[in-house]
Amino acid sequence: MAATVFYLDEIPQVGAVAVLDGPEGRHAATVRRIRVGEPITLSDGAGLLAESEVVAAGRDRLELKVRDRVVAPPVSPAVTVVQALPKSDRSELAVELMTEAGADVIVPWQAARCVANWEAKARKGVEKWRAAARAAARQSRRAYIPAVADLHRTGDVLDLVRRTVADNGIAIALHESGTARFAGLPFDADRIVLIVGPEGGLADDELTALEAAGAHIALLGPTVLRTSTAAAVALGALGALTPRW
């Protein structure tokens, strides 16, 4: 595989020429300085991977001949991370880390104790997270770019938990008050939802409501983690505890 994956919405058939332009083409041609003859891996971000070779290079675009196409199977069980909004200086870092660690869906959550408040700028915040997820997916050579959902309020998160549990999935709220050990939970499910609170922690009424909706309240490990790193640590643990790795 080439050193970096570049994303293209529509990848042509083997033997055809693909044009990589826009931000991806600019990054490849101008930042990475990729030249004619170099191999490139293209992806549509939804599982399709195409090995290609640069046949022409411009200032901010590349033309690539497709040599081979394969579809990467999705990882199972799928993991959705509900991430309470971190402080602005660590917000995109949280998205980058969980993307590199393998999150399949990322849900921004306006929890009660969030310092950040997206109520007046939800669209801008979501777009920043989507851009961060795309860049991190490229860096980590992912065939799938994690989907970033619209901003969720607590009621939306509770609905997600109920639907997950009803569909034989498992929802886990990571919290230091948890009496269940993360490693001891039943992960024989097709879908896992991880819920990460903000810097101030989950409020008591949020914990009560999450548990009533069917979520497990679990202790991830012996130390208290930052909200920006907790999801990545949990995803790493899931890689070892489930068939994801």
Q: Which residues are bridge partners to 36 per DSSP?
A: none
Residues of the chain with CATH 2.40.240.20: 5-71
Sheet holding 39-43, edge to edge: 5-7, 39-43, 48-57, 62-71, 17-20
Predicted local confidence at residue 3, as pLDDT: 54
DSSP 29: I
Q: Which residue has the tokens 């990460």?
A: 196
> Which tops the pLDDT comparison, 120 or 67?
67
Cis preceding linkage at 86, omega within 30: no
| Region(s) of the chain under CATH 3.40.1280.10 | 78-241
Domain 78-241 has CATH 3.40.1280.10: yes
pLDDT above 70 (res 118): yes
Over range 90-103, report the average pLDDT.
96
Q: List, for residues 146-202, the tens digit of each pLDDT value.
A: 999 999 999 999 999 999 999 999 999 999 888 899 999 999 998 999 999 999 899
Mean pLDDT over each residue of the chain, to the nearest integer: 94
Q: Which stretch of 55-59, 101-105, 168-172 has the lowest confidence by average pLDDT?
A: 55-59
Whole-structure pTM value: 0.92
Helix (H, G, I), strand (E, B) or coil at 236: helix
Tokens of 228: 């920006």
Calculated CA dihedral for residues 127, 229, 78, 193, nearest 10 degrees: -90
Strand ranges across the sheet with 105-109: 147-148, 105-109, 78-84, 191-196, 170-174, 216-219, 180-181
pLDDT at 1 over 60: no
- Assign a CATH topology to domain 5-71: Ribosomal Protein L25; Chain P (2.40.240)
Place of tokens 């949990």: 234
d(CA 59, CA 56): 10
pLDDT at 33 over 70: yes
Question: Exposed, middle or buried by CB within 10 Å (0-12, 13-18, 19+), for 2?
Answer: middle
For the segment 51-56, the average pLDDT, to the nearest whole number, is 95
CB 190 within 8 A of CB 77: yes
- For residue 79, give the amino acid letter: V
By three-state DSSP, how is residue 119 classified?
A: coil
Angle among Cα 59, 127, 101 to the nearest 5 degrees reads: 90
Question: What is the CA angle 29-53-132, rounded to 5?
Answer: 50
